[in-house]
């Protein structure tokens, strides 16, 4: 994953955060000898990966809905 991060082009953007979080970010970057942007990139990547793990794939949900519509009566009988 680290190699993929290094090869991606960087895009500048501006945002705001609370002063206490920014202080923690700066302290962490200094303690670890890393750039703030590297820590933010890693943290956001981990955040989005965790969200995807908890979310079923769209195709799976569509297949489930189609199956429920087609075999609803069968599923009712099987549940008895």
pLDDT at position 1 over 60: no
For residues 28-54, average pLDDT: 92
Question: Among residues 63, 59, 6, 65, which one has the least CA distance to residue 37?
Answer: 6
Residue 14 pLDDT more than 60? yes
Give the integer Cα–Cα distance in Å for 20 and 17. Answer: 8
Binning pLDDT at 50, 70 and 90, where does residue 60 land?
confident
pLDDT at residue 2 greater than cutoff 50: no
CA gap 32, 75 in Å, rounded: 55
Instruction: State mean pLDDT over 5-12.
Output: 77
């Amino acid at each position: 994953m680290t190699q993929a991060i290094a090869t991606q082009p960087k895009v500048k953007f501006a945002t705001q955060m609370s002063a206490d979080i920014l202080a923690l970010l700066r302290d962490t970057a200094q303690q670890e000898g890393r750039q703030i942007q590297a820590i933010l990139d890693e943290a956001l990547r981990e955040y989005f990966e965790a969200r995807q793990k908890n979310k079923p794939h769209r195709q799976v949900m569509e297949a489930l809905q189609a199956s429920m519509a087609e075999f609803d009566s069968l599923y009712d009988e099987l549940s008895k």
